[in-house]
A = this chain, B = another copy of it.
Amino acid sequence: LQYQVYLQCQETNKNVPKCVATKSKRNILVLYQYRLVSVLLLQPLRVSRMRSVLSLSVVLLLCLALGVVCVALWDGSGLQFNWHPVLMTTGLVVLYGYGSVVYRVPFTWGQSKLPWKLLHAGLMLLALLLSVVGLCAVFGNHNKNHIPNLYSLHSWIGLTAVILFALQWVAGFAGFLLPFSPLSFRKLLKPFHVWLGGSILTLSVAACISGINEKLFFVLKGDNHTASYSNLPPEAVHANSLGVLIVAFGLVVLRILTNKSWQRPEPDQQETAYTVGKCLRLM
Interface size of A in residues (CB-CB distance below 8 Å): 44
A219-278 interface (Cβ within 8 A of B): 229-232, 236, 239-240, 243-244, 247, 250-251, 254-255, 258, 260
Are A202 and B250 closer than 8 Å at their CB atoms?
yes
Residue numbers in B under 8 Å from A199 (CB-CB) = 251, 254-255
Residue numbers in B under 8 Å from A239 (CB-CB) = 153
* CB proximity of A192 to chain B, nearest CB, Å: 10
A151 CB-CB contact with B under 8 Å: yes
Are B244 and A156 closer than 8 Å at their CB atoms?
yes
Assuming the A-B contacts A213-B214, A214-B213, A214-B214, are A151 and B205 also in contact, with contact meaning beta carbons closer than 8 angstroms in the complex?
no
CA separation between A232 and B152, bound complex, in Å?
A: 8
Are B213 and A148 closer than 8 Å at their CB atoms?
no
A109 CB-CB contact with B under 8 Å: no
Contact with B along A137-168 (1 / 0, CB 8 A): 00000000001100111101100100000000
A210 CB-CB contact with B under 8 Å: yes
A212 CB-CB contact with B under 8 Å: yes
CA separation between A144 and B101, bound complex, in Å?
A: 48
Number of copies of this protein chain within its complex = 2
Residue numbers in B under 8 Å from A212 (CB-CB) = 153
CA separation between A10 and B195, bound complex, in Å?
A: 38
Which of A157, A207, A218, A239 has the most chain B CB within a 10 Å cutoff? A157
Chain B, Cβ-Cβ closest to A207? B209
The answer, among B151, B205, B207, B231, for a CB contact under 8 Å with A202, is B205
The answer, among B153, B198, B279, for a CB contact under 8 Å with A209, is B153
CA separation between A199 and B254, bound complex, in Å?
A: 9
The answer, among B148, B217, B244, B254, for a CB contact under 8 Å with A157, is B244
* CB proximity of A187 to chain B, nearest CB, Å: 14
A93 CB-CB contact with B under 8 Å: no
Residue numbers in B under 8 Å from A254 (CB-CB) = 198-199, 202
A216 CB-CB contact with B under 8 Å: yes
A129 CB-CB contact with B under 8 Å: no
A133 CB-CB contact with B under 8 Å: no
Given contacts A160-B244, A202-B205, A209-B210, 4 further A-B contacts (CB under 8 A): A151-B229, A153-B239, A213-B214, A217-B217
